[in-house]
Structure 1
């Protein structure tokens, strides 16, 4: 399939650009190549792809984070692919739906970050792995967000402060540091 081929190429490119994450990129490629259930569907309970947005302000100094309702943590916006094989499109759609911001634009089809993380059991859904591809999404001039039902709250946070905070979520801090390095 077209998007699977482009995702495979994007994962190879990511491993080249971010060599310290080559093992993670390989785990993503392994999931893509597995036989059986669709890795883009949340019904695949062993693990599945998700798409997230590193949603930066127009000036690139802040990132919009969600206080995630189910996980009770501050995280980047994002969600399940639900069968969509274009994870960049998933990230943009989730950012639009979860923020209500107009004029969002995807900066690149190339993943900005990859993260494989465990989602704990919740109700009838057993614990499982999320293979989260994160993409840079840029906000327009209007930064007035709308809190969706998936969030307890949304907030613009200073990227430099996240990068400097040793207590920050590990993946948020990694993205903040990567963002600073890329925008210097």
Structure 2
């Protein structure tokens, strides 16, 4: 999935969630920017994430992010790579140590534009996060990377207790429970 296929996928992307629908065009517009996949674009850039679930769709793997001190899905910067599906899979493996990761569907699962606070010489900016649904085995050992303070398989019933009012994660949780892409 390069920049052109990403744009095509975004143009076809439909969501019943009003907030998510409100920034689809911003994602499409960003695909025309030469720096869209690079941190050098200081006002905002693409990132990719993995919403990792177990096969029974009862738990999600989440990380306690080291810098933001929040429970989040795994993922990271594109760093020049236009294939965000591959970025999401690579980040998921790097941040968890899991080898059983399996892409459930090549279509975009979710998108979110969120603000990243200023840190050092990097100004406050947007992450245009493209997310993919990925399955993994819960019994495989986890390896905590430098990106995280902790990793945990969190029961769907407890996700909100961990993430609070984080609407983008609650939206992915809702999509998972309603997903036609089941077992």
**TM-score, structure 1 length as denominator?**
0.89
More helix by share: 1
Q: Which has the higher contact order (CA 8 A, sep 6+)?
A: 2
Residue 111 of structure 2 corresponds to: 114
Counterpart of 2:31 in 1: which secondary structure?
Answer: helix
Residue 146 of structure 2 corresponds to: 149
Relative distance call for 1:175 and 1:113 in structure 2 (3 A) is same
Structure 2 gap ranges (5+): none
Residue 79 of structure 2 corresponds to: 82
User: How much is the aligned-residue C-alpha RMSD, in angstroms?
Assistant: 2.1
**Which has the larger displacement, 94-103 or 21-30?**
21-30
Instruction: Output aligned runs, 1:157-172, within 5 Å.
Output: 157-162=154-159, 167-172=164-169
Q: Are 1:95 and 2:116 an aligned pair?
A: no
**TM-score, structure 2 length as denominator?**
0.90
Structure 1 gap ranges (5+): none
CA apart distance, 1:19? 6.4
Residue 21 of structure 2 corresponds to: 22
CA apart distance, 1:176? 0.5
